[in-house]
Structure 1
C-alpha cells in the first residue's frame, strides 16, 4: 500500500512533438501498462471527482484511487499492489482502496466502463520525473501526453515552460485519462 501526493504539469502533444521530445531527453526504455477504469452504475466516483483504476504491467498489477486534495492538479493517490495477472479489483477491509470506498459509503458494485493501454517513457530530471505517454483507447484513437511530476513547484514550472518553449508547444492541459478513456470506449 502506498499514498502519494501527485503534483504535476501536463500537456497534450502532437506525434511530431512527442518524437522530438523522446529524442532530446534521457528516457529509459518504454514499458506498457493497461488501465481498466471503474465506477458504480450511478457514477458515484465521478460525482466525487475520484478516479479508480486497475493497472496491469508485465510483472505486477495495482489498483489506484485518485482523490482530489488541493488546487490545480493536486491529487492523493491511494495504491494497493496486486499480484501479476490480476484481472479484477481486490477491495477488502484491509486494503487502502477498499477502506476508502467504504468510508465514503460506496458499497454498490463497481463495473469497468473503459480501458486504455499506454506506452510510457520516463526520464529523471533535476526538476522532477518527465513522463511521455502514448495512449490508445478502446475505439482505436490515441493521444500523446507530456507530464512533469514534481516536489518543488517553482523549479518544475521553469523546466516545463523551457520544454514547451524549446519545442514550440502551446500548453494544452488535457482532460484526465479517466475522462478521455470514457469518451473513447
Structure 2
C-alpha cells in the first residue's frame, strides 16, 4: 500500500494550445503512454457525496486500485497494486478486493464492498521534470469527448501554484476553472443521461 498527498495545479487547454505546448517542450509521440482509468461509485454515489473517487488505473500491464479523498492540502491517495485477474473480477462484479483501499473506504464511512462501474476514461499522457516538479500533458477521451489538460505536481502548494501560473502566463494561456477528470467524467455522463 502507498499513501501520498497529491498537490497539483491543472488547467484545461485547447487542442491548439496543447499542440503548441507539446512542440515547445519537444514532446514526441513516443513520449506519450496510454492509461485507462476505470471509475466506480456506489449506487447512491456515496463517494461523490464525500468528494472522493475510486478508480482502477491500467497502465503498461500494471493495475492499481486508488481511492482519492479530500485532505487539508491537496488529495489523500491510497494506492493498492492488484493483478489483472482481480481487476477483471472487479470490473465485472463491482466487488472491491480486501486490502488497504477497502480499509480506507470503511474509515471514510463507505461500508459496502460492491460498487458500480461508471465507465472508463482513457488518457494519453506524457510527463517531464519541470522546475522541481512534474509537468503532465494529458489528452483524455471519454463518453465521445476529447479534452486536453496541463497539470503540474509538486510538494509545496504555494510553489506549485506559482510555477504553474508563470508557465500559463509565459504561453499566454488563460487560467480556466478545471475540474478533475472524475468530475468531468461525471458531468459528461449526467449531460448524456
Give the TM-score normalised by the residue count of structure 1.
0.89
Equivalence map 1:90-105=2 (5 Å): 91-93=96-98, 95-103=99-107, 104-105=109-110
What's 1:54 paired with? 56
Count of residues in Structure 1 that have an aligned counterpart in Structure 2? 181
Q: Which moved more, 1:158-167 or 1:10-19?
A: 158-167
The 3-state SS of whatever aligns with 1:135 is strand
12 and 105 in structure 1: CA distance in 2 versus 1, 3 angstrom threshold: closer
What's 2:22 paired with? 22
The reply on whether 1:31 has 2:36 as its aligned counterpart is no
Q: Equivalents in 1 of 2:117, 2:159: separation in Å? A: 38
169 and 76 in structure 1: CA distance in 2 versus 1, 3 angstrom threshold: same
Q: Equivalents in 1 of 2:58, 2:47: separation in Å? A: 21
Equivalence map 1:118-133=2 (5 Å): 118-133=123-138
The 3-state SS of whatever aligns with 1:87 is helix
Cα deviation for residue 158 of structure 1 reads 3.0
What's 1:162 paired with? 166
Mapped contact 1:118–1:135 kept (Cα < 8 A): yes
Q: Equivalents in 2 of 1:33, 1:184: separation in Å? A: 20
Cα deviation for residue 115 of structure 1 reads 1.6
Cα deviation for residue 182 of structure 1 reads 2.0
Superposed CA deviations along residues 150-178 of structure 1, whole A, max 9, x for unmatched, are 11334333321221112111111311211
Mapped contact 2:39–2:54 kept (Cα < 8 A): yes
88 and 22 in structure 1: CA distance in 2 versus 1, 3 angstrom threshold: farther
Mapped contact 1:12–1:146 kept (Cα < 8 A): yes
RMSD: 1.9
Superposed CA deviations along residues 125-154 of structure 1, whole A, max 9, x for unmatched, are 12310001000012x111111110011334
> Where is the helix percentage greater, Structure 1 or Structure 2?
2
169 and 98 in structure 1: CA distance in 2 versus 1, 3 angstrom threshold: same
Which consecutive unaligned segments of at least 5 residues does structure 1 have?
none
The 3-state SS of whatever aligns with 2:31 is coil
Q: Equivalents in 2 of 1:123, 1:46: separation in Å? A: 31
Give the TM-score normalised by the residue count of structure 2.
0.85
42 and 60 in structure 1: CA distance in 2 versus 1, 3 angstrom threshold: same
4+ residue runs of structure 1 moved beyond 4 angstroms?
A: none
The reply on whether 1:171 has 2:189 as its aligned counterpart is no
Which consecutive unaligned segments of at least 5 residues does structure 2 have?
none
Q: Equivalents in 1 of 2:24, 2:179: separation in Å? A: 26
153 and 101 in structure 1: CA distance in 2 versus 1, 3 angstrom threshold: closer
